[in-house]
Amino acid sequence: MFKVILAVALAAVAVNAAPSAADFAGDATWYTPNGGLGACGAPSQNSDLVVALSADQYAGGSNCWRHIGIHYQGRFVDATVVDLCPGCASGSIDLSPGAFQQLASLDAGRIQVTWDYE
Going from N- to C-terminal start, the domains of the chain cover 24-117
User: What pLDDT was estimated at residue 109?
Assistant: 98
Which of 1.10.287.90, 2.40.40.10, 2.60.40.10, 3.40.50.2300 is the CATH number of 24-117?
Answer: 2.40.40.10
Alpha-carbon distances of 110 from 14, 17, 55, 100, rounded to whole Å: 34, 31, 19, 10
* Helix locations, the chain, DSSP H: 2-17, 55-58, 97-100
Tell me the pLDDT band of 10, cut-offs 50, 70 and 90: very low
| DSSP code of residue 60 | G
Cα–Cα dist 109/60, whole Å: 27
Q: How much is the pTM?
A: 0.81
pLDDT tens, position by position, 78-114 = 999 999 999 999 999 999 999 999 999 999 999 999 9
Calculate mean pLDDT across residues 48-63.
98
pLDDT at 3 over 50: no
